[in-house]
Amino acid sequence: MARYILNRLLVSLVTALVLVTIVFFLVRLLPGDPFLSEKVTPEIRQNMMKYYGFDKPLHIQYIRYISNLLKGDLGYSLRYQNRTVNQVIEDAFPYSADLGIRAVIFASIVGITLGIIAALNRNKPLDYASMFIAIVGISVPSFVIGPLLQYIFSIKLKLLPVAQWKGFAYTIMPTFALSLSSIALLARLMRASMLDVVNQDYIKTAKAKGLSPVQIVWKHQIRNAILPVVTVLGPVTATLLTGTFVVEQIFAISGLGKYYILGTQNLDYSLVLGMTVFYGLFLIAANFIVDIIYGIIDPRIRIAGK
């Protein structure tokens, strides 16, 4: 197990280095000049370039950024004076994480449950109803679901607040809008995996031993069918926890999405680079954890990893 974990850790570290390198140079290629303004003289611009280290050769900037990144320093924002990228993320991430955790829990429970119900009732009304929900979740984007929920439940029915993040009532619509696509993904995947497991030999053996249908479903079908679902939970969790920009904008939530969009609009290279790296490293970490969990659930993965 230790060797398997070490192998996955090395793969994650190499992936992280490649990610940071690609993102660093791509951000530097973005058009525009963050210091170009009618109020900024050439002398001031030159001083600003020197202050942020943009006057150095690109490879020197890269080495310096990697060195600071290893210390956990993502640099200073170009637009938010006297604020580091770390501080911006520290202020915004709790909102995105709060929303993301709610969406992950809701999507996991509802999506996996729908998939199980659909598989156990194949080609029956419950199966069709579950898959209809999945199709809607995949087909309708969040920027349509969000305003639709606001119109129905806030404007027409006046049951929920239209936006912001001030209490439990404010979290219901954003959580549903954010988790709908994940519910659809998990439901379809769980259904397909359950149907694939049904015809396996160990299921037939369990039936021959006289196990009850409930025991077969819980101890054999779900346990083996859930492995592919665990695989996708890593990137799904990372995506939801770091926040979805569209949902946060629609519901006026001051999460990572708000600052990322503002950073892009304002050509805040440091903020865009820092938040992209933060998101990427978060995703890599989530996949690493899922790999370890996958190895614990299925020993064959650990053996193959050796």
Q: Which of 142, 83, 77 is nearest to 107 (CA)?
A: 142
pLDDT higher than threshold 60 for residue 303: no
Q: Which of 107, 100, 134, 89 is nearest to 248 (CA)?
A: 100
Percent pLDDT > 90 in the chain is: 16
Q: What are the pLDDT digits (tens) for 119-133? A: 888 888 988 998 888
pLDDT computed for residue 154 by the predictor: 93
Identity at 194, one-letter amino acid code: M
| Domain definitions of the chain by residue range | 88-265
Q: What are the pLDDT digits (tens) for 239-264? A: 777 667 788 888 988 888 888 888 88
Using CA atoms, how far apart are residues 290 and 294, in angstroms rounded to an integer?
6
Using CA atoms, how far apart are residues 191 and 119, in angstroms rounded to an integer?
5
Q: What are the pLDDT digits (tens) for 138-183? A: 888 888 899 999 999 999 999 999 988 888 999 999 999 999 888 9
pLDDT computed for residue 300 by the predictor: 60
pLDDT higher than threshold 90 for residue 79: no
Crossing angle between the packed helical segments 269-297 and 227-241, to the nearest 10 degrees? 160
Phi, psi (deg, nearest 5) at residue 23: -65, -40
Q: Which CATH number fits domain 88-265: 1.10.260.40, 1.10.3720.10, 3.90.1150.10, 3.40.50.300?
A: 1.10.3720.10
pLDDT higher than threshold 70 for residue 301: no
User: Three-state DSSP class for 29?
Assistant: coil
pLDDT computed for residue 172 by the predictor: 93
Using CA atoms, how far apart are residues 211 and 27, in angstroms rounded to an integer?
59
pLDDT computed for residue 171 by the predictor: 92
Q: What mean pLDDT do residues 52-61 have?
A: 86
pLDDT computed for residue 109 by the predictor: 92
